[in-house]
Chains A and B, each alone.
Chain A
Amino acid sequence: MPGDLSPRTVLSGVLLAWCVLATGRVFQLTLAKPADPMSELESEFRPMAAYLPPFGEVGYLEAYDGPTEEAVRMHYAAQYALVPRLIVGRAGAEFLIVARGTARGSGDVRLIGFHPVASFSGGHRLYQRDR
């Protein structure tokens, strides 16, 4: 009833209306968010588990051009997918994961002494140390 509307009530009403609009704006922006790449990356790395020992260290070839956010995410995704193995950024282990875009295109000297074992969707490859 308009007669009951004190300034405090009006102020509270304005605050609530602002709150609802702001919550709606957050919802609208969330709808426009692109899909997070982790689901895809995780499913690309998971099949490697069949070729790897159940635990222990597995090498991971760091990005040749340095650690971009994309490269870091890919390394973390490999670790997340292949737990409880430890995916380490060095080539000392028996197996070496070469994620897409990490090796130098025209032959990477870091792969000398390894041979490819399998290729996976997304362009990732698994190498094993030469006997």
Chain B
Amino acid sequence: MILAVIGLAAPVAAVWLWLESFGITDSRVFRGALAFGCALGLSSVSTMFLVASGIGLRPGAMAADLLLWTALAATALGVRPRRSEHRAPAREPASEPLAPLAWFARGAFLTAAVLALGTVVAEYIAAPHGQWDAWAIWNQKARFLLRDAGAWRSLVEIDWSNPGHPLLLPASVARLWAYAGGEPTLVPAMVSVLFGISNVAVVMAALGWQRPHAWMAGTVALVPGSFVSQAIAQQADIPVAFFILTALVLIQQAAGGQVSVVRRRRLLLLAGLLGGFAAWTKNEGFLLLAVEAALVLWLSVRHRALTAFAWWLLGTMGPLLVIAWFKFSVAPVTPVYLAPGGSLPALVGQLFQLDRHALIGDIVTTRWWLWGGPWATGLLPLTLLAGSAWAFRGVSDARLLLAAVLLMLCGYDAVYLASSLDLAWLVSGTVDRLVAQLWPAIVLAAFCTGPNVRL
């Protein structure tokens, strides 16, 4: 297991140093979260190269992998600006002595965090292989990649495992298993929990650690059992939530008025990369890419800098090339929920059938109200309302986040309407997980009471 931790730490450290070199962010927490997400994304691509080329994840290949990341880290150290050249980190506004609410918010967060951690540990003890989709889809694919580089393509022949789902998560788990020299269930659990922690950390960092509402947001984020249990489920929804959140925060930062052209380009390049990784994690990530494209285009027009869009597009290219290889060469299958159930006129008819809209509305209303588990009833609508209130008051960050969430929800709705599967079954079976994907962004919007801190 220690070797698996080394296997994770090496790319995270390399990406951390490169992010520092490029001055992407002064926030260590945000940089750490970005480094973690990018490291998994990039190392999953190198892992797929090893697997697809037939080299496999043998000890020798893993040693080369470690050397590669160490060399990248060393290179970043070489090009890093010296401390005297490095600009002083932007400090948050000097905070007043902590008010009772600030103390209470911090205490509540720490208590909630300990309880959530307890939930995670208890879930892991009860289900070390993760929830149903973890062993039916994600970890099973990881085993294919690890156990036999010659037969790994067979993974697309298991129809119940969503053959077309991309491989960021399975490749990451397989790589760390290869480092560990076995298949400890702690590895996918660790990846899963780190994505969960990163989600909460990014929400709090984006709001500013000195502000009480950052701690309140962190506390609220940990309330839904549906979110916390997903964070140990070893499935792909919380990783997707992370990529959605970080990409949107980067776009928020790029949309700020005081951002230099160079910094905006770097932020958008990274936002594109993370959007691409979302699509390399799960098909829902393609919706994020479409939403990001719309937001960045709007941003480019607003700042009269169409090159900004080009930089974002450039960021998406790497992951999109890998996805194109996977989707066209390895798993050229239509997702089961999009499999054509009839002719084009029938499909168009489906989109406008009022009873289908009504059915989705019925299920979604009930499930949203109850989402989060016991004692969290009404939390989701309340949080959405809070975000809407800030958006209507003109807080641009809340507007951007809610616009993104709304567009994502419209995308999910369109897929529901177009699907040939039993609609009630499809909506009931997916709505909770789809909300979990958007939950961190929704919480961030709800606490965007003013401009977010410069990260």
Contact = CB atoms under 8 A, between A and B. Distances in A.
Contact of A17 (B108, B220, B229): B108
A68 interface: no
A90 B112 CA distance: 49
B307 interface: no
Nearest to A42: B129
Interface in A21-40: 21-27, 29-31, 33-36, 38-39
Dominant SS among interface residues on chain B: helix
A109 interface: no
B149 to A, nearest CB: 10
Contact of A26 (B127, B148, B158, B225): B225
A83 B150 CA distance: 12
A22 B229 CA distance: 14
A67 to B, nearest CB: 11
A20 B375 CA distance: 10
Contacts, number: 134
Size band of the B side of the interface?
35 or more
B112 A33 contact: no
A84 interface: yes
A38 B151 contact: no
A4 interface: yes
A32 to B, nearest CB: 9
Given A16-B216, A55-B148, A9 B100 contact: yes
A86 B222 contact: no
Interface residues of A, number: 38
Interface in B351-389: 372-376, 379
Interface string B96-114: 0001110011001001100
A5 B144 CA distance: 59
A16 B108 contact: yes
A83 B144 contact: yes
B123 A30 contact: yes
B140 A20 contact: no
B150 A55 contact: yes
A79 interface: yes
A19 interface: yes
B341 interface: no
A80 B101 contact: no
Nearest to A10: B101
B148 A84 contact: yes
Contacts of A83: 140, 143-144, 147
A21 B148 contact: no
B152 interface: yes
B154 A39 contact: no
Interface string B228-246: 1100000000000000000
B135 A12 contact: no
B108 A20 contact: yes
Contact of B118 (A27, A35, A54, A84): A27
A31 B379 CA distance: 23
A25 B374 contact: yes
B122 A33 contact: yes
A86 B153 CA distance: 11
A62 B157 CA distance: 18
B131 to A, nearest CB: 8
Contacts of A26: 115-116, 119, 223, 225, 228-229, 373-376
B340 interface: no
Interface of B: 99-101, 104-105, 108, 111-112, 115-116, 118-119, 122-123, 125-129, 135-136, 139-140, 143-144, 147-148, 150-152, 154-155, 157-158, 160, 212, 216, 219-220, 222-223, 225, 228-229, 372-376, 379
Give the 3 A-B residue pairs with the shortest CB-CB distance, closest first: A36-B127, A26-B225, A16-B108
Given A27-B119, A84-B147, 19 more contacts: A9-B99, A12-B104, A16-B105, A17-B108, A20-B108, A20-B115, A22-B374, A26-B115, A26-B228, A26-B376, A30-B126, A39-B128, A42-B135, A55-B148, A79-B140, A83-B140, A84-B151, A84-B155, A86-B158
24 contacts: A9-B101, A19-B112, A19-B223, A20-B108, A20-B111, A20-B112, A21-B375, A23-B111, A23-B119, A23-B222, A23-B228, A26-B119, A27-B122, A30-B118, A30-B119, A30-B229, A39-B128, A55-B151, A79-B158, A80-B129, A83-B144, A84-B148, A84-B152, A84-B155
Interface of A: 1, 4-5, 9, 12-13, 15-27, 29-31, 33-36, 38-39, 42, 54-55, 76-77, 79-80, 83-84, 86
